[in-house]
Amino acid sequence: MEFSQTKEVIMASSILDAGISCFDIEIGAEQLRFKSCASTPHGLISLCKRFFVSTQVHEFSSYSSGYILYWLWTKAVTDVKIFPSEPISPLVSNSNDTYIIGGGCSGNIYLWEVAGGRLLKKWNAHYRGVTCLVLSEDKSLLISRAEDGCVRVWSVLT
């Protein structure tokens, strides 16, 4: 099914392997479903009006791994895959969609370029898992919150 990029949609996901659904706001009907896709909380963002990005976590007994997928809006296939060293939960992107930032379960924050998914920077931001990432209105500051109870502010420009 082809999906119109000009429609306003609501995207819903589950950490269970239920897929990601896109609903047309005007009529309330599901327009597109991306099966076998399970996004983590705060791990789903739209990029470049061409695709959206979803964090994925798969559990193998006591070992957890994660990856990030870029899904094309026009068809339910992945365009880019990123394999970070740990599961990523929250994601955020800058206003011109040139990079994405993700928070890891160890407290690390990662910065990737959108084109190709190359890792640009990684830093230890918190002592426990990152739960939320927000960019300031002018996109110059990154605000992170984590399970360690801390909220921190980072300059994106440096």
pLDDT of the residue at 110 = 94
Report the chain's mean pLDDT, rounded to a whole number.
77
pLDDT of the residue at 153 = 96
Q: What's the structural domain count of the chain?
A: 1
Render pLDDT for 10-21 as a digit per residue (tens, 0 to 9). Answer: 666 655 556 676
45 within domain boundaries: yes
37 within domain boundaries: yes
Tell me the CATH number at 37.
2.130.10.10
**Do 31 and 42 meet the contact criterion of CB atoms below 8 Å apart?**
no
Which long-range contacts does 46-54 make (Cβ < 8 Å, 24+ apart)?
A: 46/11, 47/93, 47/97, 47/100, 47/114, 48/97, 48/114, 49/5, 49/73, 50/5, 51/79, 52/11, 53/91, 53/93, 53/100, 54/13, 54/20
User: What is the residue whose two structure tokens read 């365009």?
Assistant: 79
41 within domain boundaries: yes
Range of the domain at 133: 9-155
Q: How many residues are recorded in the chain?
A: 158
Residue 126: pLDDT over 60:
yes
Residue 60: pLDDT over 50:
no
Q: Are strands 9-12 and 20-24 parallel, antiparallel or unpaired?
A: antiparallel
132 within domain boundaries: yes
Mean pLDDT of 22-35: 72
* Neighbouring-strand partners of residue 109: 103, 123
40, HSE (Cβ side, Cα atoms, 13 Å): 25
Mean pLDDT of 43-60: 68
pLDDT of the residue at 50 = 67
3 within domain boundaries: no
Residue 84: pLDDT over 80:
yes
16 within domain boundaries: yes
Which of 68-77, 95-104, 126-135 has maximum average pLDDT? 126-135
pLDDT of the residue at 37 = 66
Tokens of 109: 């924050």
1 within domain boundaries: no
CA distance 158 to 150: 21
> Residue 141 — very low, low, confident or very high, per pLDDT cuts 50/70/90?
very high
2 within domain boundaries: no
State the chain's maximal CA–CA distance in angstroms. Answer: 45
